[in-house]
Structure 1
Amino acid sequence: MNERSILETGTVDVIAVTDDLWSVRTLIVNVCFVGAGKNGEWVLIDTGIGPFTNALIQEAEQRFHRPPVCIILTHGHFDHVGSVLELADRWKVPVYAHAAELPYLTGKQDYPPADPSVGGGIMAGVSPLYPHQAIDLGERVNTLPADGHVPGLPEWRWIATPGHSPGHISLYRERDGCLIAGDAFITVKQESALAVLSQKIELHGPPMYFTTDWEEARGSVQALAALSPKTAVTGHGQPISGEELRLGLQRLADHFDEVAVPQQGKYVD
């Protein structure tokens, strides 16, 4: 991460991670703008929470002067899809997600409710208030290609990283080791309101209160650690790179049960 500039843009913070990858924070969750070529094309990864729709539109249109090629969802939890309906309709672009995530994006199945007993922080304590109902994107949403190809981003591939949700994905670019991890792992203790406010960088497993399959979550972190990424943008927290990322991610993979899995909770056993 040679250049890291934070631009105050109203209600979103934009971090330039590389010359064609930006992490955009919408209060508690990040989305990504990814450049898709020399013609100014780009792809939006996740859409944040609803109140930031206008801020995302303003930032994206000022930066690119055109709609994205498409929207890719790492998963369908409320804080990652809050603006997806409005953005897809405004820009008239398709949405893509993993096949296992489609029931939650087409109104067929709700996510399990959050578990407020894990993590010991205010964000976890109030998690039953977070929406867990399915949204219905109808024909707007499409299944990601089975071969790992990412629509609109020929240099990237998607990787199944379930656990936090059944169809969770991450995206990886081998050329420079860039990883968009979604919530497979994060760089802030998301259960703690104080940590979320301070944005102190710490590698953690997926947000505990919404993670329902810890065995799969462990395997996903181990698979991402095996890639040895050089830079990572996560769904919550700040971008991370270099030795801090390599050592922290390997430690998380090696000691996942001790440092990531809560000692108790409705989804632990």
Structure 2
Amino acid sequence: MTEPKTDQAIENPLDHRYIPITSVKSGALQTVAERVSCLTVQVVNVCFIGNREPADGWVLVDAGMPDSAETIQQAVREQFGEHSKPKAIVLTHGHFDHVGAVVELAEAWQVPVYAHELELPYITGRQSYPDPDASVEGGLLAKLSPLFPNEPVNLGKHVRTLPSGGMIPGLPEWRWIPTPGHSPGHVSLFREADRTLIVGDAFVTVRQDSLFKVILQYEEICGPPRYFTTDWKAAKESVQRLEALKPTAAVTGHGVPVFGDELARGLARLSDQFDRVAVPDYGRYVDRIH
């Protein structure tokens, strides 16, 4: 496995760049499945997989909003102990609201950060994501999206490429699944034993373009956030891939966790009617996929 070049200085352009958007669920820590919990950081979820036992350890999935390192570390102390640190950090993708604290946490803990190889340019300081699309069909947050950062962080020596074949270092019961569309190297995580899914933004459970629904965390199984999704054909195929897994529990990057029949019905509807309910009617990145 070829590792990325890490000769550039570690850098976080998101450092102390607080984004003043939050929700009623911010700060909520919830158990989702055995050895899986999630923390809502303003409007995005991070996940903890594992337990307090040093022999087993734990892994952090995604790293929240900018300026959220202390919030995440406090949740770590509550769950795993005062001086605990993860075996690794795994990123579903590199958008600002999923890597906001990753540089500070990786430096504090001195742990590797794993991501798909197609996400490496965005976490090694080499390339910015495409600009958010304020012209896309959607609510107020879509119109405000040009204010959101899209420049890359640089994790330097901490970056590792996820191994091919779906293996996740430190998580032998889990595998990663390619779910591109929202970003080129987006991945989701799946545990076959109990069919638990950590989705990232391949689909979400709140209309992320609607400020009102985001603040209240109004539950609704939706396609990926519209203003950052650049490949709708791939996004549809990713949702279909996840629906075929028949998950029983899912944590999405935005919104509340969903379970059982509610998850099955909502994900089946999204998969079957993706063109109608997820793909915007217009926008810079919209490519109708009928």
User: Structure 1, residues 191-238: CA drift from partner, whole Å, max 9, x if none?
Assistant: 011101111210000000000000000000000000000000000000
Q: Deviations over 1:43-87 (max 9, x none)?
A: 000000122211111110231121000000000000000000000
Alignment counterpart, residue 78 of structure 2, candidates 58, 62, 74: 62
Taking the TM superposition and a 5 Å limit, the aligned residue runs for 1:39-118 are 39=55, 41-65=57-81, 66-118=84-136
Q: 1:112 to 1:68 in 2, by over 3 A?
A: same
Task: Give me the whole-angstrom Cα distance separating, in 1, the residues matched to 2:59 and 2:100.
Answer: 17
Query: What's the CA shift for 1:40?
Result: 5.3
Partner SS state of residue 153, structure 2: coil
State the 1:36 CA deviation. Answer: 5.9
**Deviations 1:132-173 (Å, cap 9, x if unpaired)?**
011111121110000111111100000000000000000000
Cα 1:11–1:201, aligned 2, differ >3 Å: closer, same or farther? Answer: closer
Alignment-mate amino acid for residue 68 of structure 1: P
Shift in Å at residue 11 of structure 1?
6.0
Partner amino acid, structure 2, of 1:106: T
Asked if 1:35 is matched to 2:53, the reply is no
3-state secondary structure, aligned to 1:71: strand
Q: How does 1:196-207 map to 2 (within 5 A)?
A: 196-207=214-225
Deviation at 1:118, TM superposition (A): 2.1
Task: Kindly indicate whether the alpha-carbon contact (under 8 Å) linking 2:232 and 2:286 is maintained by their aligned counterparts in 1.
Answer: yes
What is the distance in 2 between the residues matched to 1:44 and 1:187? Answer: 21
Matched, 1:140 2:155: no
Q: Distance in 2 between matches of 1:36 and 1:94?
A: 19
1:225-236 superposed matches below 5 A: 225-236=243-254
* 1:17–1:23 CA contact under 8 A, matched in 2: yes
1:169 to 174, 187, 202: 187
Aligned equivalent of 1:178:
196
Distance 2:162 2:261 in 1: 32
Tell me which stretches of 4 or more aligned residues in structure 1 moved more than 6 Å. Answer: none
Once the two structures are overlaid, the 10-residue window that deviates more, 71-80 or 10-19, is: 10-19
2:138 alignment partner in structure 1: 120
Alignment check: 8 A CA contact 1:61 1:67 kept: no
Name the residue aligned to 1:5: none
Q: How big is the alpha-carbon RMSD for the aligned residues of Structure 1 and Structure 2? A: 1.4
**Counterpart residue number, 1:6:** none
CA distance in 2, matches of 1:71, 1:187: 23
Is the strand fraction higher in 1 or 2?
1
Please give the alpha-carbon distance, in whole angstroms, between the structure 1 residues aligned to 2:192 and 2:271: 20
Which amino acid letter does the alignment assign opposite residue 24 of structure 1? L
* TM-score using structure 1 length: 0.94
Distance 1:172 1:36, change over 3 A: farther
Equivalent residue, structure 2, for 1:157 = 175
- Mapped contact 1:36–1:43 kept (Cα < 8 A): no
TM-score after normalising by structure 2: 0.87
**Does the 8 A contact of 1:12 with 1:52 survive in 2?**
no
Pick which of 33-42 and 83-92 moved more.
33-42
Q: Is residue 239 of structure 1 aligned with residue 257 of structure 2?
A: yes
The answer to whether the 8 A contact 1:20-1:35 is kept is yes
Identity across the alignment (%)? 54
Is residue 2:237 matched to residue 1:222?
no
Any gaps of 5 or more consecutive residues in structure 1? Answer: 1-9
Structure 2, unaligned runs of 5 or more: 1-24
2: CA distance, partners of 1:40 / 1:119: 45
